[in-house]
Structure 1
Amino acid sequence: MNNYKKWMKATLALMLALLLLGVGLVVAVDPFFHYHARLPGLSYPFNLENYQNPGIVQHFEYDSLLTGSSVTMEFKPSLFGELMGENMVKVPHSDASLLTLKHTLGLALEHNKDLKTVYYGLDHWALARNPERLSTPLPEYLYDQNPFNDTEYILNKDILFGNTLGVFENTITQGGYDDFDTAYTQDYGFICRESIAVARYLETEVPQSEAVAASFDLELMLDNTRANLENNLLPLITQNPDTTFVVFFTPGSILYWYDIVTYKNLDAAFTQLEMALDALLPQPNVELYFFMDVEDIVCNLYYYFDWIHYDPAIHEYMTRSFAEGRHRLTEGNRADTLGHMREIVEGYDFDTLFGTTSVPMKGAAGLAEYSATLADERYITFLAVQGDALPVASPELDTALVQMGLAGPEAGAQAYAAIAGQGVSLPAQRSGGAGGIALSAEVEGLACELESGPTASVVIDGVEYAQQLPGVNLVVWDNTYGRVVDSAAFAPEDWTARRRTNPRP
């Protein structure tokens, strides 16, 4: 009996010691920054924004803050530091509602009296959401100031074995700090192409939009917009007059506007914008930036991997715009800015995205049929071969090259790039060996860089347009629309058109 009691005491003591060790480890490492900022020498992965953001805004040192939805996750705070001398933390929330952002931003303003500037990404689509509903549930024990519910943090085995020990694993594999440039980033090598954005929109968004359209409530939409502004954004601004709020309207693509035109109400969408401007423009500590009408961005789906998420290059463009004051929206340019946005939407030919009338080559299955549509002088065609796509004899390829006015690659060539067009002083072409070749040219004001070899590339004015699939990659510029209207790849086994539909390589 005595041995049993000793065994029980020893077991309980061991269990208590292990429990205290686990609690101590969670508190000491603190993967969610609930008690302190990150420890020197440890690399904390920033990958759970709902759990880590409240600790970041309470315990880190910073004088500027950036928040918004997932479309703001690719901003690089280091560039803000380089251009504007700011020490920034980035605390976005995926699929954020204005109420969700209010929770995190409220904590930041309460705990950091030295906060000078808040960069607030305002999504047009978030204005109509239920103003009393979080986009996703938040762990209350990390947002409130109640120490008694911290047990959900310090006695959580998933946090101990997953997140706390994960800091050590990340330190070993990554080394050093994970900085805010990579915090919560979604840039896992995603590929941006029009075909990808359209495919993801049709697959993911259209079913939801069709359901919403069946019960669309205009009055509710405007009531929610008003409540979101009055309850979830304006109080933060008016109660913190010494903090500058840089509120920027994020650039949803032209697909987003197609969705509004087709399934919702365009006039109501602009009424929402007017309501936001009525609320924000009079505030002395607010600077407004409007990126929704930057036509070269929103109408170029080669910057997007779905209807609203855009390439990191756009985040850099917006950052530099803040530094230079570009796209600043004021009472003086308000009418012109919104008028320009409406002109873009109402003047856009959506058939170029979904039909074949305006872009006939999209209806062509084979390479020869495709190239036959390019005879019109409105088109400039860019060609780059990827991989082993130059067979010794191919009537289909020979026919296509002749139709484009190209002599074709030299005998035995394994790489080939060319630019052709009826109204261009070229064709220009170059062929070479397996190591690959490059072709540079300026065509009607377009800076063009082509590569052929293991990877095909067609870069026009800094944007990649090639599908980068094995075979003959063709990119078609339309002088009438002033943009690329199609990109396709043709493999020699069947010479049928292929286009990416998945943003992952």
Structure 2
Amino acid sequence: MKNIRFVITFLILVILFSSVVGTFVYVVDPLQQYRKASYSPLFSGQQRYQNPGLAKNYTYDMIIIGSSMTENFVPSKVGESLDGNVLKLSIEGSTAKEQRMIADVAIHTGQVKKILWGLDYFSVRENSVRDEESFPFYLYDENKWNDFKYIFNISNVKHAFGALLLPKDQYARFRNLDLLNNWDSSAQYGPDQVFAKWKEARFAEQTTSENEPSLDVVKQRFEDHIISLIKAHPEIEFTFYYPPYSIVRQQVWYSLNPARFSNQQAMKKYMFEQFSNFNNVKVFDFQSDSSITYDLSLYKDLSHHSAGVNQSIIEAIAADTHRVTKENVDLNNSMLEQQVQSLVINENGPVFSLSITMDGQAVAMKQITTTSKNQVRVPLKDFAMAAGIEFSYDIPSKTATLTRENVQAIITVGESEALVNGQPTTLEAPIQIVQNRLVAPLIAITRILDGKVEITNDQHHPYFINYDLSFK
């Protein structure tokens, strides 16, 4: 009998405790899933959990959708430029599926008139959500019966206490909705940060290239998650833009994961063609804008740029520049491809794109590799063919011989000196084997063969340089 009473008493206490906890979370509603907070809220940095409540209960007529590339937008400034009351619903690392889910929640309120959407290729490569098993689907639906996952979540209990009890000057970055998840002030930008990530990415990209989905699969995901939304809402004005990753990021994809780079280029054109079927859609492309993508001082890693770039994007959209049209869609893609093909990555200074001419006439170099001691390196065989120089290479001794008229240069891989007509001559950088190709410092090799190099900067594009080679 005592055991039965104990069990009954225990159950009653559990029910009472659960009721108190559940009522507390419901009333405080720390993620604002049921109502906008009447107190000074403490927002969560977990966007997949916080955003549904913001979308359901705040007042706005324009939303920002996208990955971390859109996190540095300041909604009040976006609203000033694009004429809207803006709510940012960015989700770091999100796929188009996740972005569609939060867009649906916002649109369901009937408030949305405009959507600014940062469209990353990677978002349509995947058809999943992060941490599928623990993803808070219950926050995105209208089913109240599954809200117990929110009400009885220990993290939300702690969050509710924090929202009520913590001093208002603590966690300031989680109390300002305009700057929520904006990481600009805490980021370190510059070439050092970019090149640190570049070294990591050269290995990582080679391992991920094996899993690149087919273009047909990517197109279908784009249709499922984005085009279907546009079709369903002709009353909403959609503005999409392709974010400006650093040119180093694009070069890594181009050189180490060419299938991904090719798919990205193809999808940009395909998406524009699909968007063109709708009068309520505009698309903008910033990926070949060298004034942004070559300036590594604007980036904290290979992809993520400063808030100043976000503001420039908004100003460009407001001015209707960078807009993709049927006349420039191919040009935008070809410009980006030319940029990565000619890119010279200089860890000791700025990156730049290099064109090479011979007496003013363009010559083809299949590969322009990273610089060595500020010396641009080119494939030695390509150089010899373009200059009409006799070339031979002895594999066992790793020695190259170049002969032009009365000058003969003998150069060994890794050696800092060359024999020029039998006389030792110092090289500013040795020849090396890079990606199974013999490369040499262009200026040094030209000069020891009695040639000249004239270096010219493009006045309109400071990151574009021409080397014009000439021989007597």
1:248 matched to 2:241? The reply is yes
Change (3 A) 1:17 1:42: farther
Residue 109 of structure 2 aligns with which residue? 112
Q: TM-score under structure 1 normalisation? A: 0.65
Secondary structure of 1:357's counterpart equals coil
Q: TM-score under structure 2 normalisation? A: 0.69
After superposition, the C-alpha distances for 1:9-64 in whole angstroms (9 at most, x for unaligned) are 87766554433222112111212222122x13322224110111122212221100
Match of 1:202 among 189, 199, 202: 199
Residue 335 of structure 1 aligns with which residue? 330
Unaligned runs of 5+ in 2: 352-368, 377-455, 466-472
Residue 469 of structure 2 aligns with which residue? none
Residue 187 of structure 1 aligns with which residue? 184
1:171 Cα offset (Å):
5.4
Secondary structure of 2:115's counterpart equals strand
8 Å CA contact retained: 2:269, 2:330: no
After superposition, the C-alpha distances for 1:148-185 in whole angstroms (9 at most, x for unaligned) are 22111111222202x21222255533499833321122
1:319 matched to 2:317? The reply is no
Secondary structure of 1:172's counterpart equals coil
Q: Distance in 2 between matches of 1:35 and 1:28?
A: 9
**Residue 26 of structure 2 aligns to which amino acid in structure 1?**
V
Change (3 A) 1:76 1:172: same
Residue 22 of structure 2 aligns with which residue? 23
8 Å CA contact retained: 2:345, 2:371: no
Match of 2:279 among 264, 271, 284: 284
1:261 matched to 2:254? The reply is yes
8 Å CA contact retained: 1:72, 1:315: yes
Q: Distance in 2 between matches of 1:241 and 1:175?
A: 40
**Residue 68 of structure 2 aligns to which amino acid in structure 1?**
S
8 Å CA contact retained: 2:344, 2:370: no
Q: Distance in 1 between matches of 2:149 and 2:114?
A: 33
Q: Distance in 2 between matches of 1:104 and 1:190?
A: 27
Residue 392 of structure 2 aligns with which residue? none
**Residue 113 of structure 2 aligns to which amino acid in structure 1?**
K
1:89 matched to 2:82? The reply is no
1:8 Cα offset (Å):
8.0
Greater shift in the superposed pair: 295-304 or 338-347: 338-347
1:145 Cα offset (Å):
2.0
1:359 matched to 2:357? The reply is no
Secondary structure of 1:309's counterpart equals coil
Residue 346 of structure 1 aligns with which residue? 341
8 Å CA contact retained: 1:46, 1:184: no
**Residue 343 of structure 1 aligns to which amino acid in structure 2?**
Q
8 Å CA contact retained: 2:206, 2:257: no
Structure number, greater radius of gyration: 2
Match of 1:65 among 63, 71, 84: 63
1:482 matched to 2:430? The reply is no
Q: Distance in 1 between matches of 2:41 and 2:105?
A: 24
Counterpart mapping for 1:47-66 below 5 A: 47-66=45-64
1:313 Cα offset (Å):
0.8
Q: Distance in 2 between matches of 1:249 and 1:45?
A: 29
8 Å CA contact retained: 2:234, 2:280: yes
RMSD: 2.9
Residue 214 of structure 2 aligns with which residue? 221
Match of 1:164 among 146, 157, 160: 160
1:351 Cα offset (Å):
4.8
8 Å CA contact retained: 1:54, 1:107: yes
Match of 1:101 among 96, 99, 109: 99
Secondary structure of 2:283's counterpart equals strand
**Residue 25 of structure 2 aligns to which amino acid in structure 1?**
V
Q: Distance in 1 between matches of 2:167 and 2:27?
A: 15
Equivalent residues, number: 359
1:207 Cα offset (Å):
3.0
Counterpart mapping for 1:130-145 below 5 A: 130=126, 132-137=127-132, 138-145=135-142
Match of 1:234 among 214, 227, 230: 227
Percent same amino acid among aligned pairs?
A: 21
Residue 211 of structure 1 aligns with which residue? 207
Counterpart mapping for 1:123-134 below 5 A: 123-127=120-124, 129-130=125-126, 132-134=127-129
